[in-house]
A and B are shown apart, each in its own frame.
Chain A
């Protein structure tokens, strides 16, 4: 009950922020502009009689690039919603009278987390489906799993949000936000490095990078979003074009030959639960 009270309060507070509404406005502008771009591409391809499969591949790859932009926006949003969640309220004094109530610190933390998860997941699903609908409308390409792609992007945001909230129990807002953003960047670079190592056959480096992917499970979730946006025919093409071509494709950060393994998804869920548990423990131990 207390968790839901705090979750509702957090959700309402976040919805009042101008930043969020500015983000919503910008998102609509991005959907309109990219939709216009996809319309131009499609019209141009039809004029030149480009084969339908090539057009589908081009549109899907561009859509994945747009998804990458959304992934970045979501990551920033999650980091800057999570980093002040506890720290700012402690600094301002808002939490002082709340923690003196008969409520567990863990309930405050999980309540805030739930409220912010609702925000980032809501944004990911709304923005993702809107973009996919716009692309479908102007180009006729509908990815196989639009909702799945949005949920994977939202999952990435939840991972970052959870880290940012853990940091928020001990660090000031700016420090926590900066570290969360750096972790996102490092995870992305690690994915790219892994790809390069895979293409060049540097197995030791590839294995090391593979291991680091599990420290923060962002890259795997990104691959899930990519897989959900790809046309099945493209996967078939990439995997049937010979071993070397398949290897290059498999290590492209904007391509995924297979969906994330259920074990990985389970791992990502457990990872979030553990980090959230750590955040609750850290907040409970924090002296106010």
Chain B
């Protein structure tokens, strides 16, 4: 992926250059290069086995890269002290079943170096933000999987970290829980926190992320601001009786193409849709339906990952500039 603009000229929250991880002959990550702007929600997407969790582990220093470099909040990967400013919800989340929710947060507050005077308030705030305030004295062992994931989220949010890394944060949550998580992520962004969201739930990513990177076989195959990645606006029209001349005139609005039963005009800006419709009607066309929108992330994702590589094209070179 190309380097992203770093927000307001600030240092990227996360950046990697050629980050590689091999396990014997297996390449889990093949030269990951990316830059996560501070204060944004970054979606890290990819199919199973693409290297997403490996990348997260390298960022947090849980595993060591076999090649390449990276920085987290300006510090080299593996730096211990920077972890004070990082919250992490692992994909495999499990907390001491015999402790209460509050005990778990107290333990993490101690380890994160949150001063004693601020600890209780930080814990109360984290519990409140994940709607577990009324269960603070409940033992983790009695919690449902979804509640444990909420607790994990509270652990990650503890002490208002500068970067929050969430690895599949809604895997155990019901639709209401997912809605809550989206609201929490938006709240984090509003407070200037950088969120690194590792997920394969594309609808979720599309709703909350500002910037995304799509990885496959350990490499970024596409990335950038979501608006750019999802590309041009597309208008689908069900129309009959359009003359050849009138159809040719539609080129002024974008690139027309027949995709029966639709006439598709790619690249037509949303504000020109009424003019496009008027032009078709003036050309004798009878309109039955108009669907103006853009590609969904899922369509783009599937297109990128199923499209055969052109001769001489590497996966990375498919990334838009």
* A46 contacts the other chain (CB 8 A): no
Contact (A97, B95) CB under 8 Å given A5-B107, A5-B110, A102-B83: yes
Contacts of B88 in A (CB 8 A): 97, 100
- Of residues 96 through 129 on chain A, the ones whose CB sits less than 8 Å from some CB of chain B are 96-104
Contacts of A9 in B (CB 8 A): 96, 107
A102 touches B107 (CB 8 A): no
Contact with B108, one of A16, A92, A93, A97 (Cβ below 8 angstroms): A97
> If the complex has contacts A92-B94, A287-B62, are A101 and B108 also in contact, measured as CB distance less than 8 A?
yes
Q: Residues of A contacting B93 with CB < 8 Å?
A: 93, 96-97
Interface check A208, CB cutoff 8 A: no
Interface presence of B155 (CB below 8 A): yes
Residue A258 lies at the interface, judged by CB distance under 8 Å to chain B: no
Contact B155 A288 (CB under 8 A): no
**Interface 1/0s, chain A 123-152, versus B by CB < 8 A?**
000000000000000000000000000000
Indicate whether A2 reaches chain B with its CB closer than 8 angstroms: yes
Instruction: Mark each residue of chain B from 70 to 98: 1 if its CB lies under 8 Å from any CB of chain A, else 0.
Output: 00000000001111101011101111101
What is the CA–CA distance of A105 and B7 in the complex, to the nearest angstrom?
Answer: 35
Q: Does B96 lie within 8 Å of A94, measured CB to CB?
A: yes
A contact residues, total (Cβ < 8 Å): 19
Contacts of B83 in A (CB 8 A): 100-102
A203 at the interface (CB under 8 A from B): no
Instruction: Please state if A96 and B90 are interface contacts (CB–CB under 8 Å).
Output: yes
Q: Report chain B residues within 8 Å CB of A92.
A: 94
* B57 beta carbon closer than 8 Å to chain A: yes
Instruction: State whether A97 and B155 are in contact (beta carbons under 8 Å apart), knowing that A5-B111, A13-B96, A92-B94 are contacts in the complex.
Output: yes
Residues of B within 8 A of A102 (CB): 80-84, 111-113
Q: Check if B189 is an interface residue, CB within 8 A of chain A.
A: no
| B39 adjacent to chain A (CB < 8 Å) | no
CA distance A224 to B124 in the complex (A): 53
One digit per residue, 1 when the CB lies within 8 angstroms of any chain B CB and 0 when it does not, for chain A 143-186 equals 00000000000000000000000000000000000000000000
List 25 A–B pairs whose Cβ atoms lie within 8 Å, in order of A's numbering. Answer: A5-B110, A5-B111, A9-B96, A13-B98, A94-B94, A94-B96, A96-B90, A97-B89, A97-B93, A97-B108, A98-B111, A99-B62, A100-B83, A100-B86, A100-B88, A101-B108, A102-B82, A102-B83, A102-B84, A102-B111, A102-B112, A103-B80, A104-B80, A287-B63, A288-B62
Query: Could you list which residues of chain B lie within 8 angstroms of chain A, going by C-beta atoms?
Result: 57, 60-64, 80-84, 86, 88-90, 92-96, 98, 107-108, 110-113, 152, 155-156
Rank and list the top 3 A-B pairs by shortest CB-CB distance, nearest first: A93-B94, A93-B92, A101-B111
- Having A9-B107, A13-B96, A97-B90, one finds 11 other A-B pairs with CB under 8 Å, namely A5-B107, A5-B111, A16-B98, A94-B96, A96-B62, A96-B92, A96-B94, A100-B61, A100-B62, A102-B83, A102-B113
